[in-house]
Amino acid sequence: MRALVVDDSRSMRTIILKQLKELGFEVYEAENGQQAMSRLHEVKNIQLVLLDWNMPEMDGLEVLGLIRAETAYKDVRVMMVTTESEMSRVATALEAGASEYLMKPFDREALLEKLILLGMDPSTRTL
C-alpha cells in the first residue's frame, strides 16, 4: 500500500515515514500542500494521505478540500495529523472529508489503531 505524508516539519515527516515503512507501506512525502497535490498526480495508487493541518501558504483543510474535489481521489483515505485537539476542529475536518484524525504527539500503536479503523490493518494485508 502507498501512503503520502504531508507536513511542513521535516522531523515530523521523518518520524511518520519511519513508522509507516515499519508497517510495510511504500511512503512518499511532501512538505506543503502544492507539493502534496503534485505527488498525488505523479504517484499512482496512493491509498492513504497523512495530512498536517497547520502549514504555511495552504493549510491541511485546504489541501483536503482539493483532494476531495477530484473524483480520482474519492477512495483515498485522508488522516489529519495535527496538534488541533478542539472537538469543533475535529468535526470540521471530518465534515470536510477527513477519514480519521490523529493527535500529535502520537506513537506507533496510536497510528496502527487508526489504520485498523480505516480498514488498513497491515497484519491482514499483503503489502
pLDDT per residue over 57-87, tens digit each?
899 999 999 999 999 999 999 999 988 778 8
List pLDDT tens digits, range 75-124.
999 999 988 778 888 899 999 999 999 998 899 999 999 999 999 988 77
How far is C-alpha 61 from the chain's CA centre? Answer: 12
Nearest residue to 77 via CA among 104, 52, 50, 42: 50
Eight-class DSSP state of 75: T
How far is C-alpha 74 from the chain's CA centre? Answer: 14
pTM of the model: 0.93
| Domains in the chain with CATH codes | 2-118 (3.40.50.2300)
